[in-house]
Structure 1
Amino acid sequence: MPVRKGAPALLSAGTLCAALLLTGCARTAPPTPAPAPATPTPSAAPAAGDARPDRAPRIPGIGPATLARIPDGTSQAFVVTGATVDSNTATAVLHERDAAGRWTVAAGPWPAHNALRGWTADHDAGDLRTPIGVFRLGDAGGRLPDPGARLPYDQDEEFAISGTGFSGESLEGSFDHVIAIDYNRVPGRTPLDKERPLGAEKGGGVWIHVDHGGPTQACVALERDILRELLVALDPAREPVVVMGPAPELAR
């Protein structure tokens, strides 16, 4: 039940040494041969103590392999980080990238819940783990009216839910607002859509929804006001993604 990225190294040039002419009282000594020019060293590293950064700031905690999965056109990344693979609580931060390629914090950090048993890189239906990865965020909806989202928003009574969660907490209102994570779904459709391109056995309906006070089946949950803030902030023109998983995995 209830995912969308250096200053160049300095070139040290060799210097040409001029020959020194030695003079005496009786005669002039022959010129000392000039040494061969030093060979330039390409791509030399900056000198020690050079304060200039070697690259534009990256997203804290995100390693090169994970960063490479963020599409080139994306300039909003919602990063959800758990402490370990088995953690069902997490920290969420919205990062934005400027025209120079620098990532900065736009909002957060915020507390979040994820699946009861933590995280997995190979999600299956019913495993009670949240998929690890980078997924696009393109569609939203909920039982309540649109709070001002720029993503397409589907208001529908089918988002109503009842029952209790893993800690005995009420689930009512959990889907008042949701953002669909593009894991095993067809982008561009309501979050309620049931088509599963990877097959039903790989799960689906993985959303960002209202926190009910406990772990989820597979989703990410945020406090109501925080989710509304995120909904208003996400801009489809910036091709937003969610980057989610345990810290050791995201740091790769």
Structure 2
Amino acid sequence: MKRTTLPLLRVRATVLDPSRGTLIAGPVQVPCALGKTGRTWVKREGDGASPRGRFRLRAGFYRPDHLGARPRTGLALRPIRPRDGWCDDPRDRRYNRPIPLPAPGVSAERMWREDAVYDLVIDLDYNRGPIRRGRGSAIFLHVARPGFAPTEGCVALRRPDLRRLLIRLGPKTRLLI
């Protein structure tokens, strides 16, 4: 049986804790973590907020030594390697792009992490074209920390929920935060 691609995922923040929310995918609702300062229309690097808006799902990454085979999805996925990073330094010309590590003198997010939050990562296409320095970087859909601890601005789901959802995601899927 062929599964249809979901056109839209919606994220709703909870009223009492803006760093927690619910991701709605058709009839399915799953809990999610959001940025530690909630959501914002005016995102800035380091503000801890999830950007509000409608975002395309560009592509993703997975950690093969933790997940095994490539997860099934309609999105382009590539394995994360130990030297993979993501530039979060607004002064660098590679700001908000994947970069190889080490990158001396440049602030960068390490993609190969031991805490498992980047075992599965989807690039949300926030501030990716054109890239505006200082407007936020490395905004992803990724695996949640235990207890749905807040993110630095991403949306995070339990690993089983993210894996189930991946099967229904494709290049035309949008995420509304």
Q: TM-score, normalised by structure 1?
A: 0.52
Match of 2:43 in 1: 123
Match of 2:158 in 1: 223
For structure 2, the residue ranges without an aligned partner over 5 or more in a row are 85-110
Matching of residues 27-106 of structure 1 within 5 Å: 76-84=7-15, 87-95=18-26, 105=27
For structure 1, the residue ranges without an aligned partner over 5 or more in a row are 1-73, 96-104, 163-171, 187-195, 245-252
4+ long deviations beyond 4 Å:
none
SS of alignment partner, residue 165 of structure 2: helix
Change (3 A) 1:75 1:176: closer
More strand by share: 2
SS of alignment partner, residue 233 of structure 1: coil
Render the CA deviation track for 1:40-95: whole Å, top value 9, x for unaligned: xxxxxxxxxxxxxxxxxxxxxxxxxxxxxxxxxx9610101102496100001113
- Amino-acid identity (%): 29
Q: TM-score, normalised by structure 2?
A: 0.73
CA distance in 2, matches of 1:84, 1:120: 15
CA distance in 1, matches of 2:174, 2:121: 15
Change (3 A) 1:185 1:147: same
Match of 1:198 in 2: 132
SS of alignment partner, residue 202 of structure 1: coil
* Alignment partner of 1:160 is 2:112: yes
Match of 2:72 in 1: 148
Render the CA deviation track for 1:219-239: whole Å, top value 9, x for unaligned: 000000110111111122xx1
CA distance in 2, matches of 1:135, 1:178: 15
SS of alignment partner, residue 54 of structure 2: strand
Amino acid at match of 1:143: R
Change (3 A) 1:85 1:120: farther
Structure of higher CA gyration radius:
1
SS of alignment partner, residue 229 of structure 1: helix
Match of 2:117 in 1: 174
For the 8 Å contact 1:85–1:120, the answer to whether it is kept is no
Q: With CA pairs under 8 Å and 6+ residues apart, which has the higher RCO, 1 or 2?
A: 2
2:169 to 219, 234, 237: 234
CA distance in 2, matches of 1:84, 1:109: 16
